[in-house]
């Protein structure tokens, strides 16, 4: 089993992208830390054949969603609560876009994040979501289409 | 709006010119259809490397707090080349010479101790500082906790003997036979040799002060040159 340091070095940037996409810029760091702490705890018992990147990305998405839940505890709802206006580009990247990704329905969000953000092939995404690679591809495409609508509407 | 000019054109549009719906591209692939999404696969910022270093530092701190940092490591430079230092919560568990290949050493530590290994300099600050002082000639004995987990049985006994034997304090040497006797096994001269050859914490546990009965230096995990240099530093010449 490789030293955990190598896992962090190899996948740290991918996990950060996933956390930014799902948790939003303000909570990405917390989600990243939670992800690697949880992964490090479980790491010694990880089966040898595990795809480490896919494993980390699923933890990252779950921890990122948890940061939403922690914030919305006072408003029990399926919808992510409204967040403050975030015009401009803090950190130099598309803050609103990542918030729009955070607001996608769960399956589309998973497919978009796993495929477009984390770079997993559709077959890997299908293994994580259940269902066929074709269904995973469709969910990613639907997610992108929805982003195109919601995000560009916001821009307008 | 073309993908290549996405960021600037997009922001100009968003502030000054509402984008008419009929201009929304409909026949492009999803990624190019939404210009800003061309950045999706990278989603990086120029300062990400620095940011990831900060996150790494935070991970080290929190892993330590949660008691899950089983092996911390760092490197230090020295007169005998770069040294890798690794520590468990109990103490320094490994000192490795560059010729041993640090990646190989870390992989061994992951296999033999725990894969929960992080580059975490702070746990080794004291050991690094004392080594620096030693190589500068201003320190004659080390005062950091040592974890001898990686040595078992008689080998471990030999290393414990080396830690305490007054006759091989700084600047002095002892023969393999003398160490065997001190470790309680007069005839185990060869075993003392292999205990020294496999010492997981060289320099800190001074196996370099164990020499052949004829006064020649004998072998060393860090190479004979390193042994000669360490003994020379301590004022011993063959």
- Helices A133-155, B6-16: axis angle to 10 degrees equals 40
What average pLDDT does range A29-39 have in this prediction? 97
Alpha helices in chain A (DSSP H): 4-23, 28-42, 52-71, 95-102, 106-112, 122-129, 133-155
Q: Could you tell me if B169 and B141 are in contact, meaning their C-beta atoms sit under 8 angstroms apart?
A: yes
Distance CA A86, CA A34 (A): 25
Domain B153-234, what architecture? Answer: Orthogonal Bundle (1.10)
Provide the 10 A C-beta neighbour count for residue B135. 19
Q: Quickly state the pLDDT bin for A24 (edges 50, 70, 90).
A: confident
Q: Which of B69, B207, B210, B226 is catalytic?
A: B207
ipTM at complex level? 0.80
Q: What is the pLDDT of residue B16?
A: 32
Tell whether domain B62-136 is in CATH 2.40.128.30: no
Question: What integer best gives the mean pLDDT of chain B?
Answer: 84
- Round to whole Å and give the CA distance between B158 and B162: 6
Phi and psi at residue B15, to the nearest 5°: -90, -35
Contacts of B33 in chain A (CB under 8 A): 144, 148
pLDDT tens column, B12-50: 333 333 333 333 333 333 443 344 454 454 455 667 889
Cβ distance of A116 and B41 shorter than 8 Å: yes
Q: Does B36 or A65 have the greater pLDDT score?
A: A65
Of B43, B71, B116, the CB nearest to A17: B43
Domain limits of chain A? Answer: 1-78, 89-155
Mean pLDDT of A24-51: 94
Q: Where along chain B do the CATH 3.30.160.70 domains lie?
A: 62-136
What's the whole-number average pLDDT of chain A?
Answer: 83
CATH 1.10.10.10 residue spans of chain B: 153-234
Is domain A1-78 classified as CATH 1.10.1740.10? yes
pLDDT beyond 50 at B118: yes
Which residue has better confidence, A133 or A83? A133
Is A92–B24 a contact, with Cβ atoms under 8 angstroms apart? no
Q: Which of residues 117-176 of B touch A (CB under 8 A)?
A: 117-119
pLDDT band at A9 (very low <50, low <70, confident <90, very high): very high
Average pLDDT on A4-27 reads: 91
Distance CA A28, CA A20 (A): 5
Mind listing the pLDDT tens digit for each residue in A108-146? 999 999 998 888 999 999 998 899 999 999 999 999 999
On whether the A89-155 domain is CATH 1.10.3720.10, my answer is no
The answer to whether residue A83 scores a pLDDT higher than 80 is: no
């Amino acid at each position: 089993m490789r030293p955990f340091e190598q896992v962090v070095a190899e996948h740290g940037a991918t996990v950060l992208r996933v956390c930014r996409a799902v948790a939003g810029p303000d909570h990405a760091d917390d989600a990243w830390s939670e992800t690697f702490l949880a992964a490090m705890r479980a790491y010694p018992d990880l089966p040898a054949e595990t795809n480490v990147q896919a494993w980390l990305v699923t933890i990252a998405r779950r921890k990122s969603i948890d940061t939403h839940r922690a914030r919305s505890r006072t408003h029990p709802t399926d919808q992510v609560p409204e967040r403050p206006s975030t015009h401009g580009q803090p950190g130099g990247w598309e803050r609103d876009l990542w918030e729009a990704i955070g607001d996608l329905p769960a399956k589309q969000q998973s497919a978009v994040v796993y495929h477009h953000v984390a770079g997993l092939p559709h077959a890997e995404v299908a293994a994580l979501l259940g269902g066929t690679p074709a269904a995973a591809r469709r969910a990613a495409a639907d997610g992108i289409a929805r982003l195109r609508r919601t995000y560009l509407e916001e821009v307008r | 709006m073309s993908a290549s000019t996405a960021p600037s054109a997009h922001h100009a549009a968003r502030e000054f010119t509402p984008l008419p719906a009929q201009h929304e591209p409909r026949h492009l692939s999803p990624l190019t259809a939404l210009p800003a999404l061309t950045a999706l696969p990278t989603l990086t910022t120029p300062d990400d490397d620095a940011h990831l270093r900060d996150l790494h530092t935070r991970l080290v701190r929190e892993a330590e707090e949660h008691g899950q940092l089983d092996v911390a490591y760092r490197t230090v430079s020295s007169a005998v080349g770069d040294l890798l230092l690794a520590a468990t919560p109990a103490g320094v568990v490994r000192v490795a010479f560059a010729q041993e290949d640090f990646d190989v050493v870390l992989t061994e530590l992951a296999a033999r101790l725990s894969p929960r290994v992080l580059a975490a300099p702070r746990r080794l600050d004291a050991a690094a500082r004392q080594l620096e002082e030693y190589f500068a000639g201003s320190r004659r004995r080390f005062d950091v906790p040592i974890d001898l987990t990686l040595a078992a049985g008689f080998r471990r006994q030999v290393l414990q003997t080396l830690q305490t034997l007054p006759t091989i304090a700084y600047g002095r040497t002892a023969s393999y036979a003398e160490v065997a006797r001190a470790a309680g096994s007069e005839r185990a001269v060869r075993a003392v040799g292999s205990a020294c050859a496999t010492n997981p914490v060289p320099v800190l546990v001074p196996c370099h002060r164990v020499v052949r009965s004829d006064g020649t230096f004998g072998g060393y995990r860090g190479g004979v040159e390193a042994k000669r240099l360490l003994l020379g530093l301590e004022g011993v010449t063959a």
